[in-house]
Structure 1
Amino acid sequence: MVQEFILIAFSEFPHLQVLLSVFIICVIGNIIIIILIRIDPLLHTPMYLFISAFAVLEIIFVTVTLPKLLDNLISGNKSMSVLGCFTQMFVFSGLGITESYLLVVMAFDRNLAINNPLHYSSIMKKELCFKLAVLPWIGGFTISILTTLFTACLKFCGPNQINHFFCDVGQLQNLACSDLFVSKVTVFLSAVFSIVISFIIIIALYAHIINTILKIKGAEGKQKAFSTCSSHFTVASLFYGAGLVVYIRPTGGENDKFLALIYTVLTPLLNPFIYTLRNSDVKTAVNNLILKKINVFKHP
């Protein structure tokens, strides 16, 4: 039986060591978002609570995969123990499903704010916001336990090379030497419940949002409504675009590892920039923070 797995990753692309800079920028950028939301009272709203929760998730998300990839590229250490591999798969899968559900929560929040603004504050109280922020984690890791267990129960008698930069379920299934039916059905159903249904719900919510925005009289009102939703829709499009391609058909194809870079690296990296450059509230918070620091420097 296989005692360890070998992650081939991007051995043919050694210049990807630049991902170290990407990792640092991603972590620092998302930390800045969390700090801004924490210290600025104007950002103490449900929408920014979910954005800060999303930023925390992104930091953990990249930490699960990128350090091992960098170790692979820089030191050439491609091996990972069986236990380590399935642990990484469990955490990565749980975080991915959690992110999918959290994106639905964020879409629901924007839909409620735009379509029911008069009752928004009375509905989205702290207790409900907290539950909506926590439930995706519970759902995500519950589903991940099932997919990981059914995959870990497979027999792996060689080969042990994984053509990916992390222990992905599709690649692991390709290495198994036992019947894959139960494992594949479990992974497919989890993908349907976590990605397809979530994607359909988000599309429906945004169709409702767009329909409401188009009825708003005045270009300024429409622009303001669109600006509160465009950032989230951009992030959701990047995440679901790659996720639907990879996990609805988990065949472990050659291009899967390149597509995986989109939702494991690109989305977490762009998240801080999307939410700052395309969000007037966050830009105002940044300007206020800079002015405070300048005033402190001038008048210590």
Structure 2
Amino acid sequence: MSAQAAGAMATGAVVTGLDLGGTKIAAALFAADGTVLARHTRPTPARDGAAAVLDALAAAAAEVDPGRLATVLGVAAAGVVDPRSGMVTSATDSISGWAGTALGVGLADRTGLPVACDNDVRATAGPELAALPGGHGSLLFAAVGTGVGGALAVDGRMLHGASGIAGHIGHLPSAEAAGLPCTCGATGHLEVIASGPGITAHYERLTGAPVDRLETVAARAAEGDAAAVRAITTGAAAAGGVLGGLANALGPDRVVVGGGVPRIGALYGDALTAAFTAELMPPLRGLVPEPPLLGHDAAVMGAAALTTTLPLHHPGAHR
């Protein structure tokens, strides 16, 4: 880990960070200076219910810290998470029964440690915000993968919003997605045209032929397949336009675009950047989307850093 990354999450205590996704739980034990002491991963029991997921999170925390060095635990979780109440207020079916889970208290009761919790994308964006100079930076962070998530920070403060909903940029309207049904129940949202499955589905609509995954579409685009090029650039331009409009509203010092979709190559990145810059007002011209500073440890690092910025949920607290 770089010194910059360690400094972005150093907490002054030994901390366990947990990252909960639909398929995998990642855990890391961090020293007081932010360096990684141990790592552990295990599958998420996503079909077994919320109690089984909480049990697996607690088991991961115990496995990564057998000496019980940590005094506090941070967890970054899939779904809409309200860090103040510690509740998962909304979630897709990628984890069965996850909506309505008392994540903070449930995990505190199982581990005996105070717990801070937040949405995984906001947690990942936290160290990116902390790395901005001056302590009062503004950040627009997008994670484009199976879905489209985001985080918004203004003047050094991460925005959470009612029920923890702030940052769900995938559910902003997009002209390119007009009429397409979204997983949230509405229609025409960015996620259904700009996410990996959204781009893949658009290619299928253009060709009438099924395709297995985004990487196949990207490979066909590289070979000159016009429909594949169109599907990728449409999704990228939709994302870039929405991010450009948000940049005008928020005035970020930095715009970060991460997730799996940008890794498919320059065709995607160039189209996103062009659409983004076309939207910018004059004071923001020169601002361009950038990749994340941090690598595979970003989510667990951000989870650990939550313990210094968010409310702690204690064992035995009233729900």
TM range (shorter): 0.3 to 0.5
Report the TM-score, using the length of structure 2 for normalisation.
Answer: 0.33
The structure carrying a bigger strand percent of its residues is 2
Look at both structures and tell me which one has the larger radius of gyration over its CA atoms.
1
Report the TM-score, using the length of structure 1 for normalisation.
Answer: 0.35
Give the number of the structure with larger relative contact order, counting CA–CA contacts within 8 Å between residues 6 or more apart: 1
The structure carrying a bigger helix percent of its residues is 1
